[in-house]
Amino acid sequence: MLAASAVVYADEHLQDWIPDVLTIPEDAEVVTDRAIGSTVRMFSIATGADVDALFAEWEESLSGNGYPVTQGADDLLDHSIEFSGPGIANAKIIVAPTTEDGRSVIEFDATLD
């Protein structure tokens, strides 16, 4: 069996459901890109960006542009944003553990309307 991997920069390939109000870091590389059925989407990127600043910016951008953000008790302890909005029944953005090279992996999961 042959295994292959490719680095795809996020600005070249973003899933179309990701709100335009989210500024994706320039160094972001797509790690995972999956569609399950017609409504479930999973997407992740690796970046060296400051995750605290990025998540604060994203939360403000989402809530100020028609994407209600909900905070659960767990969201206060870890880096995560839960939101909904046009075409999105619910979505969550989380930070996975940092990779060996010091980059953070940010995971996007959504159920579309």
The alpha carbon dihedral of 25, 29, 34, 35 has a sign of: positive
| 13 — pLDDT class (breaks 50, 70, 90) | low
pLDDT tens digits for range 41-82: 999 999 999 999 999 999 999 999 999 998 765 555 568 999
Q: Where are the domains of the chain?
A: 29-112
pLDDT for position 5:
39
- Percentage of residues in the chain having pLDDT higher than 70: 82
- CA R_g for the chain: 14
Confidence (pLDDT) at 79: 82
Hey, what CATH topology would domain 29-112 get? Alpha-D-Glucose-1,6-Bisphosphate; Chain A, domain 4 (3.30.530)
What CA–CA distance (Å, rounded) separates 32 from 91? 16
pLDDT score of 7: 46
Residue type, 29: E
What pLDDT, on a 0 to 100 scale, did the predictor assign at position 77? Answer: 55
